[in-house]
Structure 1
Amino acid sequence: MTQGPLGDGHAQPWYPQQPAWPGEQGEHGQGAPYLAYDPYNPYGQAPQQPDAYVPDAHAPDGYGYDGQHQQPYDHQQQYAPYVVVPQQQAGEELYLPAGAEYTDDGYVHLEPEPGPEPDPAPEPAPAATAPAPSRRAARAARPGLAGRARAAADAVVAAEHTPGRRALLIRSGAGLAALGVLVAAGLMVGAQDGGDSAADASGGDPGFAAAHTRAWTAPADAGRPGGDDTLVGSWLLDGAVVRADASGVRAYGATDGKPVWAVEPPAAGAVPCGLSPTVNRAGLGAVLFRPQADPKSPCSLVAAVDTKDGRTAWSKPLTDAEGAYGARVGVTDDKVIAIGDSRAVAWQSTDGADVWQYTGQGKFCTLSGGVSGTTVLVASTCADSTPVDQAVALNTADGKVTWWRGLDNRPKTATVLSAEPSVLLTTGDKPEDDRVFAWSPAGDPAAEIPVADADGRLDVAHGSFSATPGVFFHDRTMVTTVTPAASANAAGGPVAVVGYDLDTGKQRWRTTAREKGAARAVGVDGGALVVAVDERLDQPAHLSRFALDGGQETVGGGFPPGTGSLLVSGRVLIGGGRVVAVPEHSTNFGTATAFQAKE
Structure 2
Amino acid sequence: MTYQHQQQPPSYPPAGWPGPAGAPPAAPKRRGRVALLVAGGLVAVLAVAAGTAYGVSRLVGGDDDDGRKLRTAWVLDFPERQRNGLKTYDGQDMFGAWLVGDAVVRAQPDGIIAYRLGDGAQAWGVPAPQASSLCAAAQTLAEGRGVVALGSADSCDTLVGFDAAGGTQTWRATFPVERRTGRSEIVAPDLSVAAGQVVVRSGESVLGYSLADGKRLWQTDADRLLPGRDCRLTQTQAAGTQAVVTARCDGDQGALLGLDPATGKPRWQQKLPAAQQSAGVLSVDPLVSLPGLVSETFVARDAAGKARATFGNPVDGTRFSDLPINRSNTVSGPEIRPYLADADTLYLPTEATNVGGKMRQANQVVAIDLATGKRRWVSAGHTDGEVELIRLDEQGVLAWEVGDRRDLAPRLVRIDPATGEVTVVAEAPLSAGTEGSDAKVLERDGTVVLVPWKHVTADAAITVLR
1:221 to 79, 85, 107: 79
Q: Which residue of 2 aligns with 1:125?
A: none
Q: Could you tell me which amino acid in structure 2 is paired with residue 448 of structure 1?
A: T
Q: CA deviation at 1:334?
A: 2.8
Q: Which residue of 1 aligns with 2:122?
A: 259
Per mean C-alpha deviation after superposition, the further-off stretch among 299-308 and 582-591 is 582-591
Q: CA deviation at 1:271?
A: 0.9
Q: Which residue of 1 aligns with 2:463?
A: 593
Unmatched runs of 5 consecutive residues or more in structure 2: 1-62, 181-185, 327-332
Q: Could you tell me which amino acid in structure 2 is paired with residue 471 of structure 1?
A: Y
* 1:306 counterpart = 2:163: yes
1:370-426 deviation line (CA, Å, top 9, x unaligned): 11100111221244xx77422222122321212222332357861321111111211
**Is the contact made by 1:498 and 1:511 (CA closer than 8 Å) also made in structure 2?**
yes
Partner SS for 1:299? strand
**Is the contact made by 1:387 and 1:406 (CA closer than 8 Å) also made in structure 2?**
no
Q: CA deviation at 1:453?
A: 5.4
Q: CA deviation at 1:580?
A: 0.3
Q: Which residue of 1 aligns with 2:149?
A: 288
**Is the contact made by 1:417 and 1:463 (CA closer than 8 Å) also made in structure 2?**
no
Q: Could you tell me which amino acid in structure 2 is paired with residue 550 of structure 1?
A: T
1:536-590 deviation line (CA, Å, top 9, x unaligned): 5774211222122332211232211121200223111011541000012247423
* 1:566 counterpart = 2:428: no
Distance 1:447 1:490, change over 3 A: farther
| CA–CA separation in structure 1 for the residues paired with 2:371 and 2:165 | 40
CA RMSD, Structure 1 to Structure 2 (Å) = 3.2
Unmatched runs of 5 consecutive residues or more in structure 1: 1-105, 110-206
Q: Which residue of 1 aligns with 2:268?
A: 403
Q: Could you tell me which amino acid in structure 2 is paired with residue 289 of structure 1?
A: L
* 1:370 counterpart = 2:237: yes
Distance 1:520 1:348, change over 3 A: closer
Q: Which residue of 2 aligns with 1:511?
A: 379
Distance 1:223 1:492, change over 3 A: closer
For normalisation by structure 2, the TM-score amounts to: 0.73
**Is the contact made by 1:493 and 1:516 (CA closer than 8 Å) also made in structure 2?**
yes
1:450-496 deviation line (CA, Å, top 9, x unaligned): 02258442122339997864211123321012115789999988533
Q: Could you tell me which amino acid in structure 2 is paired with residue 366 of structure 1?
A: L
Q: CA deviation at 1:273?
A: 1.4
* 1:452 counterpart = 2:452: no
| CA–CA separation in structure 2 for the residues paired with 1:474 and 1:108 | 36
Q: Which residue of 1 aligns with 2:141?
A: 279
1:479 to 347, 350, 359: 347
1:212 to 63, 70, 76: 70
| CA–CA separation in structure 2 for the residues paired with 1:291 and 1:538 | 44
Partner SS for 2:350? strand
* 1:248 counterpart = 2:111: yes
More strand by share: 2
**Is the contact made by 1:264 and 1:312 (CA closer than 8 Å) also made in structure 2?**
no
Partner SS for 1:591? strand
2:217 to 320, 344, 355: 355
Q: CA deviation at 1:108?
A: 9.5
Q: Could you tell me which amino acid in structure 1 is paired with residue 137 of structure 2?
A: L
Q: Could you tell me which amino acid in structure 1 is paired with residue 120 of structure 2?
A: G
1:164-197 deviation line (CA, Å, top 9, x unaligned): xxxxxxxxxxxxxxxxxxxxxxxxxxxxxxxxxx
Q: CA deviation at 1:305?
A: 0.8
| CA–CA separation in structure 2 for the residues paired with 1:449 and 1:489 | 34
Q: Which residue of 2 aligns with 1:322?
A: 179
Distance 1:243 1:301, change over 3 A: same
| CA–CA separation in structure 2 for the residues paired with 1:216 and 1:262 | 19
For normalisation by structure 1, the TM-score amounts to: 0.58
More relative contact order, 1 or 2 (CA 8 Å, 6+ apart) = 1
Q: CA deviation at 1:315?
A: 1.4
Q: Which residue of 2 aligns with 1:417?
A: 282
Q: CA deviation at 1:255?
A: 1.4
Identity rate of aligned residues, in percent?
22
**Is the contact made by 1:470 and 1:522 (CA closer than 8 Å) also made in structure 2?**
no
Runs of 4+ in 1 over 6 A off after TM superposition: 106-109, 463-467, 485-493
| CA–CA separation in structure 2 for the residues paired with 1:448 and 1:489 | 38
